[in-house]
Amino acid sequence: MNHIRLEQLLHRAADPAYRDAIDQLGIRAKEAALIRYEIGAGERGQWSHYYYCPLDGTPLGFDWSLPDAHHCPACGTEWKGEPYDGAWVTLANAKIGRMMRDAALYSSNFAKNITRYINRGLVT
């Protein structure tokens, strides 16, 4: 990246919407650090489309601490077993991947430098 492109990037980063995105990235990175779920060798995923209540079509509530209990927030029904467990595994793995990406981006010097640049008022 040359100096001109860096300046353009930093000026765009001063946009409040971008600052909000950096803040959200930080929140997701901190949430990622709290996850204690470990991917098991015997886990098998299913289509994430299965993670909906068959009674009313509402997405089931995802809870890291309850990988085998899948509650519908609309009707209150609890679903167990397959295909819900497998869909939960698929969603958990996808969330872990996104959180790893977010944590890596947030911890990078790039994110810190942009935040420092904005906070110092170097962008008008």
Return d(Cα 86, Cα 15) in angstroms, integer. Answer: 41
How far, CA to CA in Å, does 108 sit from each of 29, 36, 102, 105? Answer: 11, 23, 10, 5
The per-residue pLDDT for range 13-45, each reduced to its tens digit, is 667 777 788 788 888 888 888 888 887 888 899
State pLDDT tens for residues 47-71: 999 999 999 999 999 999 899 999 9
Distance CA 62, CA 91 (A): 8
